[in-house]
Amino acid sequence: MAGSETRMLLLGAVAMFEPINGYQIRRELVSWEIDKWAHVNPGSIYNGLARLTEQGFLERHDLVDGSREVAVYEATMRGRAELSQLMIRALEEVDPYDRVAFHVAFGMLPLLDRQQVETSLEVRKRALEKTVDSFPSPRDADPSYGPPHAVRSLMLWRDSAATELAWLTQTLRDVRSGALKFAQGEDWGWTPPDDDPGWQMNADREKYRSLLGR
């Protein structure tokens, strides 16, 4: 997985739940099954947090929580700017052969305002239209383009891009109409189950804020 996508995942997880400790970040990202679709080794998360802290994208606070010491993380202004740039680029740039970056950014939409999401998805829609048009259609494919099985494989990439375009067109309609709820403060019509670890994470977040004097 590209380093920029790893940064986006870690910065996004911190920005969504800060202040948050390293174990909570790892547990949250593992629940997203990032090892399956993003090809991220969960064991590398702690090293990634340390590296982002050294680079000034995250700030680490060493706190005493009862009888134990805990390191919690927050995104710096520089980290938030970096995250925003990474997300916008991932939403707008189209790679028909690799959609990992887009999936990462789309999964963290609440970190961007609705207008930015609408603008970026419209940019992606136009890019997807050009991408679909760039592939030869089954009827227009020149037999000299390549072996029949290779051309058929190319059609799979074209159809995948066309499917994404149809999905994105409807998603963009839902964003514009407000049917898709994702922004902070909106009622998503969804509540985590009682046993969701997020409830404890919210409680810990308030405790960490108190320890930080917030």
Residues 31, 100: one domain? yes
CA max distance for the chain: 72
Q: How far is CA 21 from the centre of its chain?
A: 19
Task: Output b/e per residue, 109-146; b: 16+ Cβ within 10 A.
Answer: bbbbeeeebeebbeebbebbbebbeebeeeeebeeeee
Residues 119, 75: one domain? no
CB-CB contact of 46 with 21 (8 Å): no
pLDDT in tens, 175-214: 999 999 998 888 888 888 998 888 999 999 999 999 998 8
The tokens 């051309």 sit on which residue?
151
Closest residue by Cα to residue 208 from 56, 28, 70, 80: 70
Three-state DSSP state, 111 = helix
pLDDT at 85 over 80: yes
CA distance 62 to 40: 26
pLDDT at 145 over 70: no
Cα four-point dihedral sign 7, 10, 13, 18: negative
Q: Which residue has the higher pLDDT, 32 or 151?
A: 32
Token representation of residue 195: 């046993």
CATH number at residue 106: 1.10.10.10
Cis status of the peptide bond prior to 19, with omega within 30 of 0 = yes
Residues 2, 102: one domain? yes
pLDDT at 90 over 60: yes
Three-state DSSP state, 151 = helix
Residues 169, 122: one domain? yes
CB-CB contact of 10 with 52 (8 Å): yes
Residues 66, 102: one domain? yes
Residues 88, 128: one domain? no
Residues 11, 51: one domain? yes
Q: List all residues 6 or more positions away from 153 whose beta carbon is below 8 Å from its beta carbon.
A: none
Q: Which residue has the higher pLDDT, 128 or 184?
A: 128
Average of pLDDT values for 152-156?
Answer: 82
Beta-bridged to residue 108, according to DSSP, are: none
CA distance 15 to 68: 24
pLDDT band at 95 (very low <50, low <70, confident <90, very high): very high
Residues 66, 84: one domain? yes
Residues 102, 146: one domain? no
Average of pLDDT values for 115-121?
Answer: 97
Q: Which helix (H) or strand (E) holds 173?
A: helix 148-177
Residues 124, 193: one domain? no
pTM of the model: 0.90
Q: Provide the number of structural domains found in the chain.
A: 2
Q: What percent of the chain has pLDDT over 70?
A: 94
Three-state DSSP state, 78 = helix
Average of pLDDT values for 90-105?
Answer: 95
Question: What is the residue range of 21's domain?
Answer: 1-111+189-214
pLDDT at residue 148 in the model? 74
Residues 93, 195: one domain? yes
Residues 178, 205: one domain? no
Share the mean pLDDT of the chain. 90
